Amino acid sequence: MKKLSALLLAIALVGCSSNTESEVKTASIEHELESGEKILVDVELDGEGLISKISIDETYKDNAGNATTKKEIKEDYGMSKTGKVEWYKQIESLEENLIGTDGRFEVDAEGHATDEDILAGCTIGLTDIEKAVEEAVAAAK
């Protein structure tokens, strides 16, 4: 009888627990740019369809013609040499701002974010990145 009670209790607990793992949805996309480079977005959505993880990167060929990404080369991309915050740091700020959202954000005519929180840490043009994030979120749903 004790074994039967323990088995029934175990079945009841499994039946009542929610499995959030099955609610998580992911997608990886490559958004091709006119230059031939690609914006790479990996996204994970929670059960409510909000971003729980996101990675944004862009393919890049260095001066020697080696294929890499802007996140991989970090400071070697060279934005800091012109007094600007490096690309990968700006993207990390954007990624942090997108966590807990549906991934939608607006850009102005020049491609800059209109959201002050995003713009505070990410001043690069985001037109193509906004489209790539939108594609990735749609693919994950």
Answer whether residue 99 is part of any domain: yes
What is residue 7's predicted lDDT score, i.e. its pLDDT? Answer: 44
Percentage of the residues of the chain whose pLDDT score is greater than 70:
84
Answer whether residue 1 is part of any domain: no
Answer whether residue 136 is part of any domain: yes
Answer whether residue 131 is part of any domain: yes
What is residue 22's predicted lDDT score, i.e. its pLDDT? Answer: 62
Question: Is the confidence at residue 10, as pLDDT, over 60?
Answer: no
pLDDT per position as a tens digit, 65-74: 899 999 999 9
Answer whether residue 70 is part of any domain: yes
Answer whether residue 78 is part of any domain: yes
Rounded to the nearest 5°, which phi and psi values hold at 3?
Answer: -65, -40
pLDDT per position as a tens digit, 25-57: 999 999 999 999 999 999 999 999 999 999 999
Answer whether residue 16 is part of any domain: no
Rounded Cα gap, residues 130 and 132, in angstroms:
5
Domain that holds residue 45: 21-140
Lowest model confidence (mean pLDDT) among 9-13, 19-23, 84-88, 133-137: 9-13
- DSSP label at residue 81: G
pLDDT per position as a tens digit, 131-140: 999 999 999 9
**pTM summary value:** 0.83
Rounded Cα gap, residues 64 and 10, in angstroms:
61
Q: How many domains does the chain have?
A: 1
- Please name which of 111, 113, 37 lies closest in space to residue 103, comparing C-alpha atoms: 113
Answer whether residue 33 is part of any domain: yes
